[in-house]
Amino acid sequence: MAKKDYPAIASSVVELVGGKDNISSVKHCITRLRFVLKDQDKAKTDDIKAVSGVVDVVIGNGQYQVVIGPDVEDAFDEVIKLLGAGFDGGAVAAESEDEGKKGSIVERAADLVSSIFMPCLGGMAGVGLLRALLVVFTNTGLMSADSGAYQILYAASDAFMYFLPLALAITAADRFKTNKFTAFAVVGALVYPAITKAYSDGAALDFFGLPVNLMNYGQSVLPALLTVWVLSKLEHVVSKFMPKSLRFMLVPTICVAVMVPVELIAIGPVSMVIGNVFADAFMVVYNLAPQVAAFIYGCLYPCLIIFGAHWALVPIAMNNYAVLGYDWLMPLGFGCTYAIAGATLGVMLKTKFKPLKELAGTNAVVAVFAGITEPAIYGVLLKYKRPFVCACLSAGVGGVIISIAGFQRLAQVGLNLFTIPALAMFPGGWSVPVCVVLSFVLSVALTYFFGFNDKMLSEADKKAQQAELDAA
């Protein structure tokens, strides 16, 4: 296949979104360039979709999202070269004042969560895979849990998630526009060894007579996020009234001295109670009809990916780890990736149009091995609609299998071909390979027999598919 011309892609996209003067900020996720535009009406969406190397355009979360594929970082680097260093923020680029204020409440919430958690994904994925390998090694007798090597590697796999509040303090500070190291200092008190030891010992602490309700904040999410949000407001007020010559020293001093007691006395305990209520509420609703709920969840998960709304589920999963010690919610969507891959493979097997066959085959392989589904969704499934419906139904069936088994993901291990053996060793883990295989095979069959035929291809489709293939 021809190598993509990333400078040309970047140049065309920047020009067609209205030029540098129309761009407030730009960042990227796993597959998309995410622009915040001053005026979206200036963007020429149809022309951008026609650019060689662009898969699709999605408008949502107050962002103009250009879908490139798993090689989006190469395109992003070229965009930054054109725009200048002032726009360079990688996956968490600086945002405009209006970013996060556009779109529906759901879109804004999803964008908020995405901007905070996306930078942490590398660390989560790395330690999750390491934890998965340790599970395999100990269960197969390749490593003893009493060995020094295990203790060291377990610490490596557990530390990031235990100190997750610190990571979130940094990324939330970027989002809420407050000093990240002040945020680190404030949130650090939640997991400070003396505080955690006081909790484990059942010690009673007070702050000038005010009782401190100690809790275990390791792996927690809400306490850090709410604390940094309040910190951002306090820092703004203190800075406003503080002489410029004194801000450097006194603003962080005042913020830390005020916020640490506030977070330990009020914000931390209240947010943990809120987290417990959410976890209990989800369990109550789910337990009313587990398999029905799992099927609906599985069917909707591919739709959530389209709009980026699946990010709103991440804090719930993180809260489950902190409250329950495992996550049961997000695994209900385990069938999604392989259902999408199966539907894309179904299109490949059914079509006689060579460019579409090759494009679908490539995207199916990317989904299976890399777990990246956006190229398959936008490049193939959504264009013909029925294959996407087949994928949704198959993902729903996969969710039912996970629900029947009562699967518990004990660590944030992502789903791919390499982690399935480890996931299978978690409680209810037999359901994971069954879910994957069933979702994949069912999706291939539904798409092949009911979801696609070459009569759906128009001449415009054929030209677009040929262009995408040439760019791949």
Strand order in the sheet with 32-37: 23-28, 32-37, 63-67, 56-60
**Interval 333-356 mean pLDDT:** 91
Res. 393: pLDDT tops 90: yes
Residue 215: per-residue pLDDT: 85
Residue 92: per-residue pLDDT: 37
**Interval 41-51 mean pLDDT:** 87
CA distance 52 to 144: 53
Residue 317: per-residue pLDDT: 83
Which domains are seen in the chain, by residue range?
A: 6-103 (3.30.1360.60), 163-274 (no CATH), 292-471 (no CATH)
Residue 462: per-residue pLDDT: 58
Residue 91: per-residue pLDDT: 41
| Band of pLDDT at residue 227, cut at 50, 70 and 90 | very high
Residue 336: per-residue pLDDT: 93
Residue 153: per-residue pLDDT: 92
Res. 4: pLDDT tops 80: no
Residue 133: per-residue pLDDT: 81
Residue 468: per-residue pLDDT: 54
**Interval 293-314 mean pLDDT:** 82
**Interval 97-102 mean pLDDT:** 49
Nearest to 108 by CA among 99, 117, 118: 99
Out of 184-198, 252-266, 370-384, pick the least confident: 370-384
**Interval 395-403 mean pLDDT:** 95
Residue 53: per-residue pLDDT: 82
Give the percent of the chain with pLDDT over 90.
28
Kindly report, residue by residue over 306-322, the tens digit of the pLDDT.
766 677 777 788 888 87
Q: Which residue type is seen at 69?
A: G
Residue 96: per-residue pLDDT: 41
Look over the chain and give the mean of its residue pLDDT values, rounded to a whole number: 83
CA distance 343 to 221: 35
Kindly report, residue by residue over 6-18, the tens digit of the pLDDT.
888 888 899 998 8
- Count the Cβ atoms, other than its own, within 10 Å of residue 173: 24
Give the percent of the chain with pLDDT over 70.
88
**Interval 60-73 mean pLDDT:** 78
Kindly report, residue by residue over 231-279, the tens digit of the pLDDT.
999 999 999 888 888 888 899 999 999 999 999 999 988 888 887 787 7
